[in-house]
Amino acid sequence: MPEQLELSPTFLEIAACPACHSKFAVDYDRHELQCTNSACALAFPVRDGIPVMLIDEARRPEGR
């Protein structure tokens, strides 16, 4: 059974992209936090329920 992605509403309210400080959208299918700033658009993985907020670990949008 796939791991359920559970992040607290409080965390999501205060979390911001480390690259541009924009809010996140949650991509439950990919287990990622997606930056909502289209100029940035980095996607940060969530591993074992813990967001990995390192820019070097983020997935860059295709074509960039």
- Residue-wise pLDDT tens digits, 8-58: 999 999 999 999 999 999 999 999 999 999 999 999 999 998 999 999 999
The 3-state secondary structure of 21-48 reads CCCEEEECCCCEEEECCCCCCCEEEEEC
Residue 26 · residue 19 · CB < 8 Å: no
Q: 53: buried, middle or exposed (CB in 10 Å: 19+, 13-18, 0-12)? A: middle
Sole residue written with tokens 């911001």: 16
Q: 9-57 maps to which CATH number?
A: 2.20.25.10
- Whole-model pTM: value is 0.87
Residue 22 · residue 38 · CB < 8 Å: no
